Amino acid sequence: MSEYHDFDHFGLDPRIVAAVKAMGYTRPTPIQSKAIPLVLRGRDVMGAAQTGTGKTAGFALPIIHRLLPQANTSASPARHPVRALILAPTRELADQVAENVRMYIAGTPLRCATVYGGVDMEPQTQALRQGAEIVVATPGRLLDHLQQKNTSLSQVQAVVLDEADRMLDMGFLPDISRILNQLPRERQSLMFSATFSEEIKKLAANFLRDPVLVEVAQRNAAADTVQQELYRVHESEKTAALLELLRSRGLRQVLVFVNTKIGCRRLARELVKNGVNADAIHGDKSQDERMKALEGFKQGTIDVLVATDVAARGLDIAELPAVINYDVPYAPEDYVHRIGRTGRAGASGLAMTLATGAEDRAVAAIERLIKRPIEVKTLDLKRGRGERPPRFRERAEAHGRSAAAERRHAVAAAPRPTADDIFSKPYEPAAAGKAAEAEEQAPAAGKKPAKVAALLGGGKR
Ligand code: AMP
């Protein structure tokens, strides 16, 4: 099935092929090679893949292709009913999926609307009322719009549950089943999940019809390109050590991971006090604040983004030159996930971890998982005191490069270590990681997970 080495051979509409080429995609990723032909044939698919594997294009491109015969330039909303529905667990993920979909449909008359909570309903209402063939939504807000009759799902031909495991973890199952009840029975259904709990299997059994299982390994760019370093520090030295790493390496566009929301806020404040362009992203921030921080980070106006695992999961921030673990993650699998943020899409990267004596056991667990020791490095914490690191723009100007060129230069300059097969396994969060995640998500979601079979009536559709 993986004989597809370019986008010309799937039989996709030329407008779609042109769009992906314009986005710089040259070769399909493994999930795209496997999923695109199946979805094109109208099959239901259960995809075992997480963000970063290219799964969005894997389901979106063939769905768009199948919608194109009905695409039209009419101004009438009635000519643009919802034909494809993509459900996602978070606002950030919905935004990212929609952003990609909009680029894939750029050369067609198809329309895409995004719907998620935490922001004003009115602009979403208008977009839905004007008509959009593709709707990307988080479940709760979509239900609000359905209740207000801002849209109808009666003509949906294809539905995607993206990151289904996270949606269940966040307690969205009742909302999902209410939405599924409003869809036509004759439809194509796709489901993507990074993990396969019993609940996910039950949901799949109820939701999918004769599905094909498509499994791919985590994109293994990280394995070839991430240099991993460990710095042993005292708890009281952590912030100084972080500042020294930023200064001595001249690092910009760095994602710094912490284990708690409180720690996240505190560290971002400390960094700002020390003259670093930093912001925080965690579950307690408003949607506006999170999007502003993410946008600033992507644009290069924010150099350091401090994040918790949950807030960072699903964020599409590619080709980061570096990630720093200010705290060693509770679950070793989260370490792999965190460092996968750097070195994505073939770019090289650097992953640095600050560890106190109290975190030794967590470090040992990570080393067991990745089957090698992390190189221990030392820092001279006195040398850098009082010096502010040059800002990204200042460095760019000093080198006569654009900010984007400067970032590419930083990425290219990072060293390339050897591969490790942990990166070729699908991500499975450990119990400890899940507990931390639940703690982080509970206040934001405000809902309790429910049993799958009971809510879906336990029967096949
Ligand atoms: P996803 O796993 O869908 O979130 O995709 C992760 C990132 O990879 C996104 O920035 C996509 O735009 C990008 N991407 C997806 N497919 C390809 C491809 N075939 N070649 C290069 N980049 C891709």
47: which 2 tokens? 């995809």
Q: How far is CA 73 from CA 17, 84, 111, in A?
A: 20, 18, 10
Distance between CA 346 and CA 9 in Å, rounded? 23
88 C-alpha to ligand 1 centroid (Å): 17
Q: What average pLDDT does this structure show over 170-188? A: 94
pLDDT digits (tens, 9 = 90+) for 226-277: 889 999 999 999 999 999 999 988 888 899 999 998 999 999 999 999 999 9
Distance between CA 25 and CA 18 in Å, rounded? 10
Burial class (CB in 10 A: 0-12, 13-18, 19+), 266: middle
344 C-alpha to ligand 1 centroid (Å): 9
Q: Is the pTM of this model over 0.85?
A: no
Residue 340, ligand 1, Cβ within 6 A: no
DSSP 8-class letter at 331:
S
Is 250 within 8 Å of 85 (Cβ atoms)?
no
Q: What average pLDDT does this structure show over 319-328? A: 90
Give the rounded distance of the alpha carbon of 353 from its chain centre.
22
pLDDT attached to residue 319: 65
pLDDT attached to residue 461: 43
Q: What average pLDDT does this structure show over 328-346? A: 76
Taking CA atoms only, the protein residue closest to ligand 1 atom 18 is 25
pLDDT at 439 over 60: no
Query: Higher confidence at residue 29 or residue 315?
Result: 29
Q: Provide the β-strand partners of residue 337.
A: none
58: which 2 tokens? 């894997």
The H or E element that residue 237 is part of is: none
Closest atom of ligand 1 to 100 CA is 12
As a residue count, the chain comes to 461
13: which 2 tokens? 């509409």
Give the rounded distance of the alpha carbon of 166 from its chain centre.
11
One-letter amino acid of 361: R
Is 190 within 8 Å of 48 (Cβ atoms)?
no
Residue 151, ligand 1, Cβ within 6 A: no
Q: Three-state DSSP class for 351?
A: strand
One fold for both 7-215 and 226-377?
yes
pLDDT bucket at 295, cuts 50 / 70 / 90? confident
Q: What average pLDDT does this structure show over 311-338? A: 80
Q: What average pLDDT does this structure show over 384-401? A: 47
Is 230 within 8 Å of 348 (Cβ atoms)?
no
Is the CATH code 3.10.580.10 the one for domain 226-377? Answer: no
Q: In what order do the strands lie in the sheet with 84-87?
A: 112-115, 134-137, 84-87, 158-161, 188-193, 45-48, 212-215
67 C-alpha to ligand 1 centroid (Å): 21
pLDDT at 337 over 80: no
Task: Give the closest residue to 226 by CA, choosing from 373, 348, 346.
Answer: 348
Taking CA atoms only, the protein residue closest to ligand 1 atom 16 is 54
pLDDT digits (tens, 9 = 90+) for 409-437: 444 443 333 333 333 333 333 343 343 33
Q: What average pLDDT does this structure show over 86-102? A: 93
Which residues does 105 contact at the CB level (< 8 Å), separation at least 6?
A: 19, 64, 111, 112, 134
pLDDT at 111 over 50: yes
Is 306 within 8 Å of 264 (Cβ atoms)?
yes
Q: Which region among 38-52, 151-165, 171-185 has the lowest average model confidence (pLDDT)?
A: 38-52
pLDDT bucket at 225, cuts 50 / 70 / 90? low
Strands 84-87 and 212-215, by their bridges, are: unpaired
pLDDT attached to residue 347: 57
**What are the structural domain ranges in the chain?**
7-215, 226-377
Phi-psi region of 42 (alpha: psi -120 to 50; beta: other; left: phi over 0): left
Q: How far is CA 304 from CA 158, 200, 269, in A?
A: 39, 36, 11
pLDDT attached to residue 286: 73
Residue 345, ligand 1, Cβ within 6 A: yes
Is 135 within 8 Å of 183 (Cβ atoms)?
no
Residue 104, ligand 1, Cβ within 6 A: no
Query: Higher confidence at residue 290 or residue 438?
Result: 290
406 C-alpha to ligand 1 centroid (Å): 22
Q: Which region among 288-292, 343-347, 355-359 has the lowest average model confidence (pLDDT)?
A: 343-347
12 C-alpha to ligand 1 centroid (Å): 17
pLDDT at 291 over 70: yes
Average pLDDT, rounded, for the chain: 81
Q: How many CA atoms lie within 13 A of 266 on its CB side?
A: 9
28 C-alpha to ligand 1 centroid (Å): 9
CA angle, residues 225, 227, 228, in degrees to nearest 5: 135
Taking CA atoms only, the protein residue closest to ligand 1 atom 22 is 25
pLDDT digits (tens, 9 = 90+) for 60-93: 999 999 999 999 999 999 999 999 999 999 888 8
DSSP 8-class letter at 342:
B
pLDDT bucket at 105, cuts 50 / 70 / 90? very high
pLDDT attached to residue 104: 98
Taking CA atoms only, the protein residue closest to ligand 1 atom 21 is 25
pLDDT attached to residue 412: 43
Q: Which region among 74-88, 158-172, 307-321 has the lowest average model confidence (pLDDT)?
A: 307-321
One-letter amino acid of 345: A
pLDDT attached to residue 274: 95
pLDDT attached to residue 293: 86
Which among 7, 63, 316, 342 is the best mutation to test ligand 1's pocket, defined by most ligand atoms within 8 Å of the CB?
A: 316
Residue 30, ligand 1, Cβ within 6 A: no
pLDDT at 11 over 80: yes
Q: What average pLDDT does this structure show over 93-98? A: 93
Distance between CA 222 and CA 423 in Å, rounded? 7
Q: What percent of the chain has pLDDT over 90?
A: 54
| 3.20.20.70, 3.40.50.2300, 1.10.10.10, 3.40.50.300: CATH of 7-215 | 3.40.50.300
pLDDT at 300 over 60: yes
One-letter amino acid of 211: P
Is 296 within 8 Å of 279 (Cβ atoms)?
yes
pLDDT attached to residue 340: 75
| Dihedral, 27, 29, 33, 37 alpha carbons, nearest 10 | -90
Distance between CA 98 and CA 96 in Å, rounded? 5
Residue 57, ligand 1, Cβ within 6 A: yes
Please provide the DSSP assignment of 178-231 as one string.
Answer: HHHTTS-SS-EEEEEES---HHHHHHHHHH-SSPEEEE-PPPTHHHHHEEEEEE
Residue 263, ligand 1, Cβ within 6 A: no
Q: What percent of the chain has pLDDT over 70?
A: 77
